[in-house]
């Protein structure tokens, strides 16, 4: 039996630096954007995140794509 994977959901997370705490450790905050098309290309998601970066309060540290897949046994 073969197992197949079907994309069911996708979201983008932008992590940005919010400064440092009292111990000098970086404070990183996240902003999650849900409802990204599962067929979206990585480059397109990156381009949108870079455009949104201009609206973020501080520098972007990381851009993450999270895909959710359903596994089915056929």
Q: 38-47, pLDDT tens digit by residue?
A: 999 999 999 9
Give the other-Cβ count within 10 Å of 65's Cβ.
Answer: 14
Sign of the C-alpha dihedral computed for residues 35, 37, 43 and 48 taken in this order:
negative
Mean pLDDT over each residue of the chain, to the nearest integer: 93
For 19-32, what is the mean pLDDT? Answer: 92
Domain map (residue ranges) of the chain: 3-73
Confidence label for 74 from pLDDT (cuts 50, 70 and 90): confident
Q: 27-63, pLDDT tens digit by residue?
A: 999 999 999 999 999 999 999 999 999 988 888 999 9
Beta bridge partners of 69: 7
Instruction: With CA atoms as reference, report the closest residue to 36 among 72, 3, 9, 4.
Output: 9
Q: 52: which DSSP letter?
A: H
Q: How much is the pLDDT for 57?
A: 80
């Amino acid at each position: 039996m073969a197992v197949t994977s079907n994309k069911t959901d996708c979201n983008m997370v932008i992590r940005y630096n919010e400064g440092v705490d009292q111990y000098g450790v970086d404070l990183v905050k996240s902003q999650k954007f849900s409802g990204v098309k599962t067929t979206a290309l990585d480059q397109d998601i990156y381009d949108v995140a870079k455009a949104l970066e201009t609206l973020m309060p501080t520098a972007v540290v990381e851009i993450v794509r999270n895909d959710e897949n359903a596994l089915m046994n056929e």
